[in-house]
Structure 1
């Protein structure tokens, strides 16, 4: 039989054709590439069996040179296609099992083993090289190379152990025992990269990471627990202070309400009552915002309840130097203090703010009472002195969804007072609520004496409406400074609004 008309030649042609076709298929079509690999591998296997060529046996020595080259080339191509088919199966398995983190390291490891096996098989069955002797001889070089690459190999095998153990995945936030923390953004054979809070990337060798204890705060979910300690002067009972701290946590929008936050009395002495506030946030990015908000709410609610923070613990403070209960107790928020803290009244002078505070009245709402419904216009500004109000908005099914809370020092009704715009959400009292009320009759004299103040108020109110979460068409239309200026002028030219009904008393 002529050498150009033998099965090995066809095998070589099929093998090269398979390589060309496989290269032409885009990488994104991994399933198609695997099918092509398997098809050409099976075709080559059939041709090998038809030509009585066994790829895992050494080449016989009685073939001619041309036949030996063809048979050797056919075996090499067969082993190459076998390796590619095995690698294709591994990649498809990783995709189906949805293991993107293991895909890189495990795939590299398997590919390396497959290619090493293919190379040894070609040396043994095509070129007749004594592989056993080669492996034994290479052991000495492997020992020398291992000593030279000891640190690199340590990182390599530590990376394999970390990937198999799965203590973290890409995107998890981890905290190491030495205080280093960050989000895992990359992991490879040598190191793991963390993105820190300062937005820096820290590369940690895998061997170093494997020796340290780590805490994965992203598992089993992204929520994270926090705890704060608050020290209050012991002017009221611990039970009253626990209720007050529950109100603090209830009014926070930065923490999770499920599981419910906890308040625990930590210690009690003549100097202070210490309370631990434990709560959870949705993710680590909310930690700073939640802590700042809780501290702010503790101050505001404590002040509204007539409490003050205790002095820090110190051995130098003796009982004889302790302030009296009357001196320790804080005063309630006054209407003047709250008005000065409201941005929309920053255009007023100190005297005008004091005069406006003198006209404020006190109104109380029961727990669960609806203060204003969505779209209802309040002709008075309400400044919360104590208590918590929840803002709710109805969905398509008519259910009310909580969108925020108001605490002491917060205010509402400013859009109705100044521009005649309705509330963007329903307001409901979560606890007993006490507010300072300023109506249009009290505010009108100031605006009549200073007409230019309408422009300042319109600018401040426009910025506040634009920064709110409301997205209704009416709010967007009324958010311009010019429109608000006209609305303020129109409201205060109209007839005075009648005061609301209810128990009202003059503010102190």
Structure 2
């Protein structure tokens, strides 16, 4: 259909094509001929004495109607497009008419002409035709609902005009471009990297857009800079403003840059340099120039941009090994048995005690062996076992860090009452009678505590059926006997 798509029309409605669009002689001539044929056909048919039902008789009047309505539509499109859209509207608004609006006008005119032609050709079957066309329209409308939504959205955009050809718009931080075409269904963008983007009009009409070209072509951009807390704010402002003003395109704009403090972060004070750019297309180039100027200005001032910072203080690493004497007193003090000791006594005990290392599966003490020392478990895990009457071995306990064993041999001099074997590699602290005797002589009340512990552990062994050699009557009810044996072994005076 002539005039519907305007294939020769430019997007901007170039006035130079107006003379060609105003060439209305041919459509006017055809419209006049069609009207004359329509009005004069009955008289001409009578003069020519056409036989009723002949081919010329059946086709003459319909052909005249089709010619008239088609030529009239063509003429109307040319007149409205050339006079209204290409002349009157641009003269009044100062802007070119959107191509979509012109195409919708042409489509409406041609649709009206087509309806008139159908009415003239199918008068007798109009009711059935309307029913069939209604069903067809419903089916086509459902199938093309998205397309129709884009078309109506395009019409809305053409009337509201949130953006124009040549505007830079942003859909999201990753999608921005210059508007190069607006059609019935889509808006086409061209990014700064020369990548084309096709945006459906329905999406454009329902999305929040940023237009960087209106109301003014220039707009404000910003750069965040972190500087050390020791940099005075006045100095930071001078440096950042100088970096922006040093760019001629920024300095030429009517609005001047400014600096604001926006955050206090672990990196330092965060300043925001706000400056104006003439257009979106030059944004990243000006960003680069301003950033380079900032680096140069900071370098001249002896200041560096701060980054993620971690302050490190180098010092000798304190030893963690438990065989160091300065740690043993702390480890010994954690044992409930030795908690009554003061710091000096713990230090003295640590200075004479020895640390022994054992591999996994190694026997520390064996049942029946003589001994006169106590062990404190520092690291690892050990298990306690006893030989039974049938010659087998039976486990009846575990020893964890902080627990002690061998207290019976240390305090009474009796042989080991059980076998203690390491389940894992272990570190043990051994306290002998010679090491512990001076402390016990000064702190005789400690013997009472030791007696209670020995009696409790004896009761636990008895619960498992373990017999303590040489102490058949050692029970919780007989703690006095244990205390006497301790005093006797260490040569303490009896109360």
TM-score scaled to structure 1, two decimals?
0.49
Higher-Rg member (1/2): 2
TM-score scaled to structure 2, two decimals?
0.50
